Structure 1
Amino acid sequence: MQHVRLTDQVIWFKHIEGKTLLVRLKALQAEEEIHLEIGGVVGRWKRMRSGVDGRPTDGLKPSGAMRDIWSAWYGSKRGDRLTVREVPDENPREPTITSLFPEWASAEDEAAFRDL
């Protein structure tokens, strides 16, 4: 089970307990969104923009309706340790050829048809 400690208006990576999720979050690009279930509530989170010096900011800010929920929790649950997990996007925006034809997802097919 992975956890996050509610210590601020954003989630800082250093407050996430769980290596698997932390690796995934660090791989996000600036402003890229991810769906997380925190304390039983699913919401959108956005990787924070890089600093003015170009270094990545190791944090997530709540997005959409999650802003209000997180803000309310910050007032009432500050310091609490909450469960956290990634929720896969169930509705991809565009189907890929391999999602339509999984039998074509081989290294041989990729090499043969990569330039088409």
Structure 2
Amino acid sequence: MNLFIGNLPSNTTEGDLCALLRLPQREAPRRLRIFKKADRAGRTLRFGIVHVETDADLHKLLERNRNAELQGQRLQVREYMPRAMGNERRAIDWRTRPWPHAERRVSERRANP
């Protein structure tokens, strides 16, 4: 089980997150990682992922840090859900559903052979 911690301030360290989550400092390299990712606007997004052994520990951390703040910035704390390269946010049957709106194409774009 993994815990996602989003909206991290730019100067956050692993030690800061360990103190916030009350993790032992010696376990930080094994259980905690901070990632940096640029969004389309060029801003750097920072988030952390914490590996938790059991469901009970995960729910305990979630409840304890639901409204957590770090350096005056509210954090987004939730269970981490990995996503594949494809867009999994779409509905499962999105390819087979009929389009509910008016068709926007005026004509077929492909040339007839």
> Which has the higher relative contact order, 1 or 2, with Cα contacts under 8 A spaced 6 or more apart?
2
